[in-house]
């Protein structure tokens, strides 16, 4: 009897170990680590995904593409999904950090707008799935500015001294200066970049402040007359202040696309692709579009599910064929040092102002 009892205990122990082993394997394949920009996905969509699939999502956020790059390439943490911008995706492909996707696992990719496919950063649509798109432009207060703004030159107009907010971003501010001068936003010509630096320094006395997200409240409250802003932020600001207007300057501007990609060191590629496919469902894409007011969802069918005001927004869903020339940022490679040097000099003059 005692012997049978021992055998029974042993059998129970073995079964428990087997279950534990299975559970450990299941746990490792049922978790994905997602790294996205802050405030850039409706938390309820993540919960829906977890409930439907049983896959747990560990969700981290970053402040910039550069921060994301450093952590994704230098940290021991392995992410299954990253959400970088176009030029950063180009860099990640060049450096062999991300892998090609299995689109058999992402059938909802067929619903992505053709206008956002075959872009230079991923010309054959092998590595990325668009998540959101938008533009960079000028937002201005029509009660404080009597003229119709249609040029980057307005940001250098002395009559708006201390009423101008510049975006505190190396790439965006230098790009705006280049466009004002009639050059490409991706210029690596030293003479053109030197010109851009000089006019940014000349602009300094006119600038109220160099800000990023905090510039939204300043403009909504009417403490400044105009500023550089991403289209999504502009649309949200216009909801809170009907006197604000957003415009793409006639010289042209930036169109950006943020996309899902999967690193080569991802631990659960198939589950990551399920997540991407889930986020491409029209009803899920619509929820994220409402949460991230003003950014353009790449899922065509999502637009019809949005509230009328958002669906008809010329900021969130413009007719791109009628806009001035738009450029996507390209990876600068080693030439980023040219931009770093310029921004260091411009930033020094900012500090003098402050």
Residues 6 or more apart in contact with residue 47 via CB below 8 angstroms: none
pLDDT band at residue 213 using 50, 70 and 90 as cut-offs? confident
Least confident segment among 17-26, 69-78, 112-121, 239-248: 17-26
Which domains does the chain possess?
6-133+257-317 (3.40.190.10), 135-255+322-353 (3.40.190.10)
Segment 34-44, tens digit of pLDDT: 999 988 999 99
Q: Determine the pLDDT at residue 18.
A: 44
User: Burial letters for 210-248: b for 16+ Cβ neighbours within 10 Å, e otherwise?
Assistant: bbbeebbeebbeeebbbbbbbbbbbbbbbeeeeebbbbb
Angle at 200 between CA 148 and CA 207, to 5 degrees: 60
Q: What is the pLDDT of residue 349?
A: 67
Q: Band the pLDDT of 262: cuts 50, 70, 90.
A: very high
Task: Provide mean pLDDT across the span 315-339.
Answer: 93
User: Alpha-carbon distance 227 to 237, whole Å?
Assistant: 12
The residue among 264 and 12 whose pLDDT is bigger is: 264
Full strand arrangement of the beta sheet holding 81-82: 56-62, 31-37, 81-82
Confidence bin at 64 (pLDDT 50/70/90): confident
The pLDDT score that the predictor gives to residue 3 is: 38
Residues 6+ away with beta carbon under 8 Å from 4: none
Residues whose CB is less than 8 angstroms from the CB of residue 225 and which lie 6 or more positions away in sequence, other chains included:
140, 141, 144, 145, 160, 163, 164
pLDDT, residue 26, reads 37
Neighbouring CB atoms inside 10 A of 280's CB total 25
Mean pLDDT of the chain: 91
- Report the C-alpha gap between 54 and 32 in whole angstroms: 11
pLDDT of residue 90: 97
In this prediction, residue 63 carries a pLDDT of 84
Mean pLDDT of 160-177: 96
Q: pLDDT grade, residue 7 (50/70/90)?
A: very low
Average pLDDT estimate for 222-238:
95
Least confident range from 27-41, 238-252, 309-323: namely 27-41
């Amino acid at each position: 009897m005692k012997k049978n009892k021992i055998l029974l205990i042993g059998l129970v122990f073995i079964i428990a170990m087997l279950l534990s082993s299975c559970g450990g394997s299941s746990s490792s394949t049922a978790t994905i680590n997602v790294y996205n920009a802050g405030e850039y996905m409706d938390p309820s969509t993540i919960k829906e995904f977890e409930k439907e699939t049983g896959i747990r999502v560990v969700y981290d956020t970053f402040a910039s593409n550069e921060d994301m790059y450093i952590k994704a390439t230098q940290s021991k943490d392995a992410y299954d999904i990253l959400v970088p911008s176009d030029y950063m995706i180009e860099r990640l492909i060049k450096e062999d950090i991300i892998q090609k996707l299995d689109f058999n696992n992402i059938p909802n990719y067929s619903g992505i707008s053709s206008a956002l496919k075959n872009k230079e950063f991923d010309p054959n649509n092998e590595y990325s799935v668009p998540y959101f798109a938008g533009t960079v432009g000028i937002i201005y207060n029509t009660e404080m500015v009597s003229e119709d703004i249609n040029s980057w030159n307005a940001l250098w107009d002395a009559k708006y001294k201390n009423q101008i907010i510049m975006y505190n971003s190396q790439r965006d501010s230098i790009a705006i200066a280049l466009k004002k001068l009639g050059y490409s936003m991706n210029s690596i010509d030293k003479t053109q970049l030197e010109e851009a630096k000089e006019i940014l320094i000349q602009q300094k006395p006119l600038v109220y402040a160099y800000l990023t997200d905090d510039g939204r409240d300043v403009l909504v409250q009417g403490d400044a007359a105009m500023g550089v802003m991403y289209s999504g932020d502009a649309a949200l600001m216009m909801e809170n202040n009907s006197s604000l207007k957003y415009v793409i300057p006639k010289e042209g501007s930036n169109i950006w696309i943020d996309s899902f990609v999967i690193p080569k060191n991802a631990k659960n590629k198939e589950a990551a692709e399920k997540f991407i496919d889930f986020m491409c469902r029209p009803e899920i894409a619509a929820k994220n579009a409402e949460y991230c007011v003003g950014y353009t969802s790449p899922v065509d069918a999502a637009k019809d599910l949005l509230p009328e005001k958002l669906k008809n927004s010329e900021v969130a869903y413009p007719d791109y064929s009628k806009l001035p020339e738009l450029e996507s940022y390209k990876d600068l490679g080693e030439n980023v040092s040219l931009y770093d040097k310029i921004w260091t000099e411009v930033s020094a003059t900012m500090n003098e102002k402050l």
